[in-house]
Chains A and B, each alone.
Chain A
Amino acid sequence: MFDIQSVRADFPILKEKVNGKPLVYFDNAATAQKPKVVIDAIATYYNTINANIHRGVHTLSQLATDAYEEARKKVQHHINAVHDREVLFTSGTTFGINLVANGFASLLKPGDEVVVSAMEHHSNIVPWQFLCERTGASLRVIPMNSHGELILEEFDALLNVNTKVVAVTHVSNALGTINPIKYIIDQAHRVGAAVLIDGAQATPHIKPNVQELDCDFYVFSGHKVCGPTGTGILYGKEAWLNKLPPYQGGGEMIQTVTFEKTTYACLPHKFEAGTPNIAGGIVLGVALDYMNTIGFDAIGSYEHELLLYGTEKLLEIDGLHIIGTAKEKTAVISFNIEGIHPYDIGVIVDKLGVAVRTGHHCTQPIMDFFAIPGTVRASFSFYNTKEEIDTLVAAVKKAKEMLS
């Protein structure tokens, strides 16, 4: 049973005031707030078992190693990976994408093609541009329609024997669109392409099942799922992770080192050079436990209620347009008001205690597509309420009044 008041009580920051007003935090797509269990777990780690892992024979090192590997198993079960060695700890989604894109440099040749979509975050565009520059491959883009939905017929038409990688976001950060990734993965596999799914915006709302999806890579960030910043996960199918070369060299990722030749450690250590973010990895496991205790079904249906309510209330404002009106959406509302710059709205509503994001949201191609300088984006989480949405709507009305 989902009890919003008890959920809110789990998050100490929600009691804070901003500019003298109770905080209304609607920038969840940028980063999620942390429940007390997560905050406490960081201190518990350093207070009780801090040690370097995978090296020491001493007890503390064993305890820390066990906790870290336990967290890896938690992630494995959370995303339903076959093996825990397919789960790599990273510093975040961006790192994961860069690791994979870099790895493909040795597998691609001129004439090959990499496919991304028109609604990618810059993080899922630029690493592939680097890859194309290095290999002579070319970048192809799946277009979208005016609702912010990918045009699947155009995607089908892009695929051919030269398509080697398809990298698509599960959910758009700027529009909230949930993409039909199962279809995209299956179609890409028909031409033998590998598929990477950017799960940064999906994982706070949806529990991914990588076996069912059959994706080759799935990446996401810890800080967006109530975990610590600087943590993330790269899931890769074992066969692909064996095929890709290591990304960084150092300790932990080796089997034997001589000055003539080094052989690499087995998975997952081949990709985890150096001392990792041990506390971060362990606490990411705690964060996923927390979210699973609340339950992703409950989270999804409650957030959907917020989305419908927020959409209805915001649309009552004259001249307000929502950008991103896909049928399948997470609880993200990007909007503009006719004749008013999104930055101006963002500044005023912040003064009224409401945190929203303004700007291009690291998705300049989307803004160019809609011919706008940016949007105001309110992104909801399961700890937000309808009353907070009322505060947002009142603040936007006030901003409109001041700026018109």
Chain B
Amino acid sequence: MTIKEIQEEIVDEFSMFDDWMQRYEYIIELGKSLPIIDETYQVEENLIKGCQSRVWLHAEEKDGKLFFTANSDAILTKGIVAILIRVFTNQPAKEILDADMGFIDEIGLKEHLSPTRANGLVSMIKQIKMYALAFQARR
């Protein structure tokens, strides 16, 4: 699936929820259920520091595509990390660089990606795009 298709699928899933509480409960579930990074990668070099919560991000390349794993110490952040990983992983660098993040607004999570939140998510997306740029430049 392309990034756009995955985003549409997520928007579709979120449209089933009636209010913020249901949305948040779903994000919390995502945050709880997923071990999304190998422990050996949860290290200082992969740490993205936010004032409020911390995010670890690891990237790999296979067959011209990028694969991401990540984690956070806060569960809401981790749930949103899981959504972002689902969007960006197993995609070619160019797709990642061109990706529009408007879907976050559509699923009612815009406030979590505000630069002033300092929860590490904005820096995480920036870092994902940096990896994509670096892999593209190398090829």
Q: Taking beta carbons and an 8 Å cutoff, which residues of A are in contact with B? A: 340-341, 343-344, 346-348, 351, 358-360, 373-374, 402-403
Contact, CB under 8 Å: A358 / B52: yes
B25 to chain A: closest residue by CB: A402
Separation of A347 and B77 alpha carbons in the complex (Å)? 10
The digit string for B15-32, where 1 denotes a CB below 8 A from any CB of A, is 000001100110010000
The digit string for B67-102, where 1 denotes a CB below 8 A from any CB of A, is 000000111110000000000000000000000000
Residue of B20, B25, B118 most packed against chain A (CB within 10 A): B20
Contact, CB under 8 Å: B28 / A373: no
Separation of A346 and B77 alpha carbons in the complex (Å)? 12
Contact, CB under 8 Å: B24 / A373: no
Contact, CB under 8 Å: B25 / A343: no
Contact, CB under 8 Å: B28 / A402: yes
> In the complex, what's the smallest C-beta–C-beta distance from B120 to chain A, in angstroms?
10
Residue of A340, A344, A374, A403 most packed against chain B (CB within 10 A): A344
User: Assuming the A-B contacts A348-B24, A351-B24, are A373 and B76 also in contact, with contact meaning beta carbons closer than 8 angstroms in the complex?
Assistant: no
Separation of A194 and B82 alpha carbons in the complex (Å)? 53
Interface size class of B (residues with CB under 8 A): 10 to 19
> In the complex, what's the smallest C-beta–C-beta distance from A319 to chain B, in angstroms?
15
Partner of A343, one of B20, B28, B119: B119
Contact, CB under 8 Å: A341 / B51: no
Separation of A403 and B24 alpha carbons in the complex (Å)? 10
Partner of B53, one of A341, A351, A402: A341
Contact, CB under 8 Å: B73 / A341: yes
Q: Is B54 an interface residue (CB 8 A)?
A: yes
Separation of A341 and B71 alpha carbons in the complex (Å)? 14
> In the complex, what's the smallest C-beta–C-beta distance from B10 to chain A, in angstroms?
20
25 A-B pairs, CB-CB below 8 angstroms? A340-B75, A341-B73, A341-B74, A343-B52, A343-B76, A343-B119, A344-B74, A344-B77, A346-B52, A348-B24, A351-B20, A351-B21, A351-B24, A359-B51, A359-B118, A360-B51, A373-B53, A373-B54, A373-B73, A374-B52, A402-B21, A402-B24, A402-B28, A403-B28, A403-B75
Contact, CB under 8 Å: B75 / A359: no
> In the complex, what's the smallest C-beta–C-beta distance from A139 to chain B, in angstroms?
24
Question: Which residues does chain B contribute within 8 Å of A341, judged by CB atoms?
Answer: 53, 73-75
Question: Which residues does chain A contribute within 8 Å of B74, judged by CB atoms?
Answer: 341, 343-344
Question: Which residues does chain A contribute within 8 Å of B28, judged by CB atoms?
Answer: 402-403
Separation of A360 and B53 alpha carbons in the complex (Å)? 10
